[in-house]
Each structure stands twice: as C-alpha cells, then as structure tokens.
Structure 1
C-alpha cells in the first residue's frame, strides 16, 4: 500500500486507522492527508462512493415497479411500513434492529397493529447458522407477542429480491431503518433516498455507517442504544411533512451531486494531481551561486526570508547553544544596510531568544513562534495570537510531561502560543518509539477535537494553533504594500515547518502569472523547457522570470505586462538532504552553505 501514490478511503476513520498503524508499527511520520515513506509522500484521499442516480431514477418509473408498488400497498393497506435490507452478517445489526422494533412496540402499544417491519436478508459472505437461528427466534418472539392469526408485525424474507420489487419496497416505505454496527459505505441508504424522491419519508441511519458523516438529513442513532432507536422510530412515523421535506432535500442533493461518476472522477483527478505533484518534487538541484548572485545584483527590490535553526545556525543538542556566528551577524547586518533589501528571520523560537541574539541588527525583521509574534524593523514586538484560545496548552503539556517522565533526556519547551517536546538528547531508538506513541495519541485523542496542528520537527514534536504558521507571515509580507515591485525573493529553511513558506512563495509567483495572463491575454503559447531554469512571460521588453528548475520551464507570450511586475526571481531553498521531499526548488547541503551565500550576497554592490 505504501508504494502507492494515492490510497483512497470511503471514510476518514479508516484513513486515520492506517495513519495510526504506520506511526505505531513502522515509526512513520503522517498527517491526516499524507504518510511519509522512504522519502516519498503517500497521499490519503477520502472519497465516499456514490450510486448511479440517473439509472435508478429511470428504473423506478418502469411499469413493472409501479405494478409491484400497488400490490404491496394493497397487501399492507392501512399499515405504516418500515423497510430494511441487510446481509446476514453480525456486523449488519439485524438483531439490534429487531430488539429496537420490539422495544418500540413495548413503549408504544397504540402502534402494535398499525406498523409492519419488512426485513429482507440476503446471504452473507460466510455461513452463520448461529446468527440465523437467533434472528429467527427473535422474529418468532416478536410475532407471537404482538401479532395475531391475521397479522404479523415482522415480515422476514431470506433471499435476494428482484430489482423491481426492491425498488418498489423502498418507494412505498414510510421509514428506512439501517442499524449496522460496523460498515463502510452503505449504498442501501443512498438508494432509499433516491427512491423517496416523491414521498420524502425519513431515514434512520446508524452512526457507524460510512455514509453517516455525509447524509446530514438522516436521523442518526447508535444501534446499541435500543431505547433511543425505539423512540426515534416513533418520532419518524409522526414526523410532519415540512420536516420530512427539509431533511430529504438535504440528503437528496448530496446523493445527486456525489454520484458514482463524481466518485470515479474525483479518484482519477486525485491520482493525476498527486502523481504530477510528486514528479515535480523529485531531484532537487543544488543552488547555483552564480545564478543567484547575478539575479541579486540585477534586482532593485528584494525580500529575503530565512529560517533560524538548521538554516542560519546548525542544529545543536542543546537548543540554547544554537547561536549565530559573528560571520552570520556581520552578513545579516550588511544585507539590512542595503536599502534595496527587506530581510526577515522567521523562526519557531520565542521572541526573547531572537531578541537576544538578533535584536541588535538594525533593519532586520523578526518573526517568532512560527509567525505568532512579529517585530517589524525599528518597531516593537506585536502579538498575532492575543485573540486565540490557548487553553488547550495545559492539556497538551500534561501529555508531554507524561512522556518526558518516561523518556530520559527529553524536555518540554513551553512558548506563548505553542508547546514543544524535545528528545534530541535521549536514547534515539527509545525516543523515536516514544515519539511515535505520543504522536499517535495526539492525533487520535486530542488533535481532532482541538484547534491545533501537530508538527514533527527534527527530534521534536510541536503543537501550535492552526491559525499560526510560517506561511501566514510570509503571505502577509508578500502582500504588504512595502513589497510592491518586488523583483527578487529568497526563502530558505530546513524542515517541515518551512514547507509552508515554500508553498506560499510558489503560490504567490503562480498568482502573478495567472493574474497577468488572465488580464492581458486569454491565450498562452507554451514552449519547451529551456536550460535556463526559468519561466518567462514577456513581450519585447517585459517579463516575469521565476528561477525554479522544477516549475514548468516555459515561455508564455502576451501583449503588455504592467510596469510594476517587470521581473521577479524566486529562489526557494531547502537545507539538508537533497533527496528528501520538499516544495523548495533548490537545495544546499548544510547551514554553513547558507552562511557563505548570504556573505557573498552581502558584498555585492
């Protein structure tokens, strides 16, 4: 499975189970959308299956269906009909359905001779004589207790129904009842909704079906709660027409739009998109110092965005010891003195640390805690998290403290808007095991219910608000009026937290291309990639140049580009292993290469 580009699931819970298994058993990093495996990204897609709605709508109008419909109505004249169809399998909840129906007749004796349950059972995947015996005994018990010689409240059919009869039963039913205790996508519920296009009668649906998360108009129940199901049966039988119509409209619109064709197209599009994205991210080339130096020299307005740990300074076992060298300080100072430059350090560190080691550099912009706090050049720090609810931190800290006590050498770093568990100084084999256990616990028990994001960093786990990430602060800087006319953009980072910056930079460049091409010309002439590793949009005198070897190197010609967007060189650089997956377009091996590079750039006049 993990050698696939994409893995599709009917429900989110199934995808989550795979993520947890990969984290616990294989020690892989994962998110709800991605599993990292052998430097590859396996994309997880949640695409619930649909049905052929048009075919079913046409079938239910056939004369044979109409004839069977009238026959059933004559047979059960004056009775409310509850319909269910299930395989004879323990997970399909047939016993739970019968127990709930029996309880309904106990609770509401006035309904005993006015309602009938038609239960169709088709053979399961395996022979289950014990289950069949229990079902038969329960039906006999209900019919003997509440029935008579003339009437049986439960009508039980052990066979496959011909399609026309099945459709007719769904059309005339007053209530659909599905009580499975474990299921994927229950297409019977979708078929019932389509067949009820005219009558709009309600559907009781087990919360354990895959469709429960999509069909919001259904009455959702826990099939193990017999009393509640019994009460819901009564409520549905007396439901007013207005509520019926509203609920059915919600369900029908979803089933109509998410049909089998939509499912197939969604899956194919997901596969194509993921394959294209992954192929673009292979083989990150080493950054060409000559190319970037020439671009820097010829530019007139530059934005330089740098990560701290692993980019400006090497990773150290003790975070407090990761301080910038005098060479780095000198180079940053010279860069900031150039009026053409806007230089920012965007770090996960707290503001106190950045102030201490970089705050003396005049003209340098600082962003702490992944964009939660910002200090513009020559200004004081401002918080972007004051309005956020951070009450979750206490809960996360308890979890991190639990693993810290059991992992010698690890420690917790608590920031204003985030909290991090470091295990760099612990025994790495055991620490990785503990990290996987902690990550799995956070993903399954905490993250889904809290407004937080879990980041797997270098020998650390961090939990931060979803609203705070490096991409957001980069977006703010790019959209700032101070950067109008930007013609040089340099972004460098080393880990997953920096991917947000790379993605934002790429999207910014793509938006410029899209906006300009849409406004100036409806037709773009695509040419073959050139060796120059660039994308040109130009007429005789104007172009937008994007220095990125993996971004569709092509020339796109049109008339008239605004003077404001004459030229933009964008360099996104990942520090470290060039074979790891990244949204960056260039690579340098170590943080020392970044230090050398900014020194070279700082000396260009």
Structure 2
C-alpha cells in the first residue's frame, strides 16, 4: 500500500501544558475517528497545525518528536500567520462567501497574501514527507492552494481534496478577486469530493465559466490531466454513538439531568457559534411557539448549547451578544418559579455529557441557514436506540439530502419553523419509529468508514484511469509498430475525422477543403484492396459529398446523423427523432449570443446547430462559450439533446447519434483486423472510447484523451498516412 499523508488545518488533538512539557490529547471529532483507520497505520501520517504557537526551536523539536509517536507531523504557524490566513482570509472571506453571507465578506489583499504564504508552508511540509508514490489527502477550504503547489513540484503525485463546507454558486464565487487562483489550486488534485451534488455542480459551473478547461459529466481536462469531482456525503461512526447512548456513564448523567430539569419535554439545539447556524432565527421561532401555544408553558424546555468559536472575529462577537439578549428576553418574559423555557450553555461538553443530551431530548432542532453537512443531527439519530425522538432539520444542511424522513424546514420561513415545533411534539410514537428506523438504516450503511474507503478508492481509481489514458507521442518506435501491424493485416480500416485532423482549421469553415496533397494520399490508400477509409465528421453531408463524394469511401456526417456506404446514397440515422422543435429554442439562444459576440456565427445543419467562435477575441470567446454552453444545457435539459464543446465550436444535436456509434457501425460493416482512428477534439473521444485495446488511436494535440497516441498537428497525421499509402 502507498504511504498516505492526511493534511488538514488543525491536527486532531489539542496541546496541554504540564510540568514536564506539552501533552497532546486526541479530539473525538468525526473526521479524526474515520481517518484513524488510515493515519495510524504503518508510516502514514497526519499533518497540520498543532493548535498552539511554538516559537522556540527546542520546543518545536520536542513537539515534533511527541507527535511522531502518534503518526502526526506539525506545521508551525506564528500569530501573524493565524491572524491573516485563518482568522482573516479563511474565516472572513472564504467562510462567509461559501455560506452565502456576502455581507460579511472582506476583500483584503494582505490577508490573501497570508493565505498564500501559509498554504505554501503546508505544501513545503508535505514535500518533506512525500515521495512520488504516496497518496496525499487534503481537507477543506483553508488549504485550497496546496494541491497545485504540490502538483507543480510532484507532477505524478496522487492528490485528493475534500471540501467540508458548501461550495457556492457561480454568482457568489465570481465576487472573489482571487477566484481563478482558488480554482486552479484545488484542480491540482486528481479527485475532489463534496458533500452534496449541488456543491459539486456549483464547482463544475465555476470551473466551466472561469477557466479554459473543458469538462464532460464530472470529469475535467486540466492541462492534459484527467480530474474528477464527485458527491460523497460524510457519515459518522454510528456504532460509537449508539454504544455511548447505552453506556452506564451516559445513563447516570441522563438521570442527573432529568432530575434537574423536571418533568419536561426537551428540545435540543447544539451548534458552534456561527452566523450560518441560524441560532437567532431558531430562538425567535421558539418564542413564537410559546406565544401561540400557552398549553405548553411549563411542559417543554429548550436546551441551547452554543460552542464558543472565533471570538476574535467581530461578527461573531455581535452574534454572541444577539443570542445572549434573545435568551434573556425569552426567559425573562415566560419563566415562572417552577419553569425556565431555555437552558443556555455557552461551552462545549464531553462525549458522555453530549450523549446524555441526545438520549434525553424528545426533539433535536438543527436548522442552520447554510451548512455543508452537519453531523450533530446524525449523532442524535444514532443515539436514539429506542427508535423514538424527532429531528427537525434545515433543508439547507447537506445532511437533509440523506435524512428526508426528518421534519424538513426552510430556516428562513419563520411561520413553518414555528409550526415544526408543534408538529414534532405531537408526532405519534408509531410515526416516530417509522421515520427513525429509515434514517438509522441509512446512517448505518453509509458511515464514516464507508466514506473514507469510498474516497480513497475513487482517488486510486482516477489515478489508474489517468495511467490508462496516458498518451504517448507518436515517435519512431510507435510509428514502426503501426506500420508493421498495417503491413501484416488482411483487412484495414482507417477511421478519420476531417477538420483539424485531415485539414487545418480555417476561420471560414467552407474554405477548409481537401488540397491536392490530401487527395493524392487518399487516392493511394483507397487503391489498395486491403484498405478501407471512413470519414467520420461533424460536417454536413452536403459538404462531404461535394468534396469527397466521388471517392469509394464510407462517410458519416453530422456525428453519425447521416451515413453513406462506399457505394450508394446518403441515409439518415433511423434513430434520429422526427421532432425538431428543439431547434427553434436552441436557435433563439444561439442567435442571441451571435448578436452579442462579434466574429461568431451560427451554422445550421439538418439535424444539428453549430455556434462557431474561432474568429472571436480569446477572452470574450472563453466567457461567451461557457455562458452559451450553460444556457443551452439549461434550456434543453428536458429533451434528448446533447450540447458538445468542440474546437472553437459548440454543437447541439440529438443524443441518438455520436461518432462512437458511427465507428462501431463501420467496424461491424468492414470487420477489419487492423483499425487506425484519428481525431482532434472532444467529439472524437466517442470513437476512441469504443475501440478495442489492440486498435490504434491518435489524438491531434496533447490533452486528456482515450487515444493511445498523440501528434502535434494534422501534418503529422498526413505524414503517417503517406507512409501507409506507399505500402502494399
């Protein structure tokens, strides 16, 4: 197994000063629990900040030695680092932006410089431990630049990145002046994980609109490297929380708490102090519930646990004041001698104490305004060993995608939020049990260990696919292999794209016609009875017929919409739907972009529409093409229509046909024992994907491809074809 290096902002421990020096106590967080099965093995290591500033070199040496015993390694940060990188850029720029609190975003160049500097410190520390064969797994938004910093030094490294907070929509992310640097940073990874499909979709949209990288489905082509993004919701150690709920220590605490609170129905709220958690809104809803339901006075109490966080950030200090004031007003107005509606704790609790709160609470109210995942709600469910209790959960939390049997609420809807409290308190035991059973089964099946394995398996798979898709330059040795195989074959098939492969691109596509040299090569090849030529192009059938129709070769036009055998007439693909109403919608969209983009134009084919932008200024071309691509995908989402990015074109066509299907049809027709395919853009990948391992495939231009070989330009393809044409 390769060595694994886990990297996060903080190590999963805290430093405590004792008489004999510092001692480190491990944290009980979900991530530490799940990754414990990795970093404690062999020479694996977890690298991060140890949670305290160590200025003295001797002290640092001691800390490093102590941490090594636990398979950990430190990144030492000073107070300036923490102020600028962590409290500054991470928590005053990225955190509010990624949680959609744009009013709190600060745009501070010095904090950005600190962020870059500290990310480089992390990268340098990793490079001291890493070798080219190790696996590196980087965690969260504080370290978004590290993957690229590593990639620049170790191009072949296996690098994963997981985003534990939401990834914002393009409209929010584009506000950041350093947006491209952040995207380029995480795209240094090979595999990127997000908690939800929405987060992944937002990320891909930002990549599409803000970079020149192409993506297909969830795969991005980054400078010739295959990068994949996926949604992997993080789980918890389900058994740990279920067992803790039955532990005698927990049950003793439950008994103590119940005696203290009296005969009350209990609603539990547990959050870190943060404006994304919606604590004031929750308190307002509870106040309104008490106003509207006086029968519950003296019978229900809210246990409000707020864990201190980032007290040096001004917005957090103001939030603490707001929470204190709301709790005081509610308790002051509704309390009597025997009942206090809110029991407020501004501190953290040990696991047994927290488990006791989970066990004794009839309802858990977890209603963040925006949350990447939220594991508290999962811990509550795992702790309900009697399959009772009710979860009120914000639909804005990532966990809502998995826990649909909870009472889902919009935290911004005060009326619904208030009503959900009464609904939870009045739910029948049968309905509680039904809902809880479904959610518990979900969490048991997809626990923290499953999540860890799933991520690492995907990272390893992507690296294996990169190796398979590694393209070799068509050198003399490779050329000889093709020539020898061609000579020994009894039936040969050449599958050739047209534009960019047989002829160079032209700003006016109608002028990219076969020249005398190409005609001579084709005539020599087709004169050999062992050789069949098939042109598979996005061009209209009328163009191919005009310029190549007098040759005895097979042709597929418009990506296989039209087909012509060596002898005979053009025939339309029978799988193409007769309904062309989609063209009216697509035409309107494309013409809108033609009008706004000087140099672009619309080409209309019988079964497809093509937007050309080769003559458009580069910066504008990148912006408009990504915008149009997204617009068309949205407009035609409910139709069996494909939007494809080619070489300076965007083409819209029915999904019923592509170049790969046309290639398979031609292979079945000729049954060759030698196949050579050549193409230059994303549409030709369909051909390369359907070829057999012993077929030959050549990509014109180096990039992420399923082709086995690449050449720099169409002239190299011609040279190879000339060599083959001179053979028997």
What range is the shorter-chain TM-score in? 0.7 to 0.9
Give the stretch that moved more between structures: 129-138 or 492-501.
Answer: 129-138
In the superposition, relative to structure 1, how do residues 391 and 130 fare at CA in structure 2: closer, same or farther (>3 Å)?
farther
CA shift in 2, pair 1:126/1:415, >3 Å: farther
Q: Does 2:353 match 1:228? A: no
- 2:324 corresponds to 1:136: yes
Question: What is the alpha-carbon distance in structure 2 between the residues aligned to residue 62 and residue 315 of structure 1?
Answer: 72
**Structure-2 residue corresponding to 1:556:** none
Deviation at 1:416?
Answer: 5.3
Of 250-259 and 350-359, the range deviating more from structure 2: 350-359
| Pair 1:206 & 2:394 matched | yes
Which residue of structure 2 aligns with residue 427 of structure 1?
617
Partner residue of 2:307 out of 118, 122, 132 = 122
What is the CA distance between 1:414 and its match in structure 2?
4.0
1:321 shift after superposition: 1.9
Give the match for residue 171 of structure 1: 359
| Equivalent residues in 2 for 1:47-66, closer than 5 Å | 47-66=232-251
The equivalent of 1:253 in structure 2 is 441
Q: CA deviation at 1:180?
A: 1.0
Deviation, 1:93, is 0.8
Which residue is 1:88 aligned to?
273
CA drift of 1:492 comes to 1.1
**Contact preservation (8 Å) 1:499, 1:583:** yes
Q: Is the 8 A contact 1:33 1:43 kept in 2?
A: yes
Distance 1:118-1:502 versus aligned 2 partners, 3 A rule: same
User: Runs of 5+ in structure 2 lacking a partner?
Assistant: 1-184
Inter-partner Cα distance in structure 2 for 1:40 and 1:179: 40
1:5–1:275 Cα contact (<8 Å) kept: yes
Q: Which has the higher contact order (CA 8 A, sep 6+)?
A: 1
| Cα offset, 1:493, TM superposition | 0.6
Deviation of 1:254 after TM superposition, in Å, equals: 3.0
Equivalence map 1:525-540=2 (5 Å):
none
Quote the offset at 1:423 in angstroms. Answer: 1.3
- The structural deviation recorded for 1:317 is 0.9
Q: Evaluate the alpha carbon distance shift between residue 222 and residue 371 of structure 1 in structure 2; reply closer, same or farther with a 3 A threshold.
A: farther
Structure 1 residue 330: deviation in Å?
6.6
Instruction: Indicate which of 673, 681, 686 corresponds to 1:495.
Output: 681
1:207-232 alpha-carbon deviations (Å, 9 max, x no partner): 22222333333333221111122233
TM-score (norm 1): 0.77
Cα displacement (A) at 1:132 = 2.0
Asked if the contact 1:19/1:31 (under 8 Å) is kept, the reply is no
In 1, the alpha carbon distance for the partners of 2:719 and 2:254 equals 82
Correspondence for 2:711: 588
Aligned to 1:457: 646
CA distance in 1, matches of 2:430, 2:542: 60
- 1:136-155 equivalences under 5 Å are 136-155=324-343
Q: How far is the alpha carbon of 1:3 from its aligned partner?
A: 3.1
- Residue 92 of structure 1 contacts residue 180 of structure 1 at CA under 8 Å; is this kept in 2? yes
8 Å Cα contact 2:534/2:553 also seen in 1: no
- 1:408 Cα deviation from its structure 2 partner: 1.1
Deviation at 1:160, TM superposition (A): 1.1
1:269 correspondence with 2:439 = no
**How many residue pairs were aligned?**
537
User: Is the CA contact 1:15–1:32 (under 8 Å) kept in the aligned structure 2?
Assistant: no
CA RMSD, Structure 1 to Structure 2 (Å): 3.6
Distance 1:217 1:347 in 2: 51
Per-residue CA distance 1:113-162 (angstroms, 9 max, x = gap): 54332221110223533222222332333345555332233332222122
Q: Which runs of 5+ in 1 are unaligned?
A: 510-545, 547-569
Structure 1 pair 575–52 and aligned structure 2 pair: CA distance change class (3 A): same
2:508 aligned residue? 318
Listed as ranges, the matches of 1:10-409 within 5 Å are 10-30=195-215, 33-73=218-258, 79-127=264-312, 128-241=316-429, 243-282=431-470, 284-286=472-474, 288-325=478-515, 328=518, 343-362=533-552, 364-366=554-556, 368-375=557-564, 378=568, 380-383=570-573, 386-387=576-577, 394=584, 396-409=586-599
Q: Give secondary structure in 2 for the equivalent of 1:135.
A: helix
CA contact (8 A) 1:204 1:218 kept: yes
CA deviation after TM superposition for structure 1 residue 281, in Å: 4.3
Secondary structure of 1:134's aligned partner: helix
**Structure-2 change in CA distance of 1:461 and 1:363 (3 Å):** closer
1:138 is paired with a residue whose SS is helix
Question: What CA distance in whole angstroms lies between the structure 2 residues aligned with 1:77 and 1:604?
Answer: 96
1:571 aligns with 2:692: no
Deviation larger for 29-38 or 200-209: 29-38
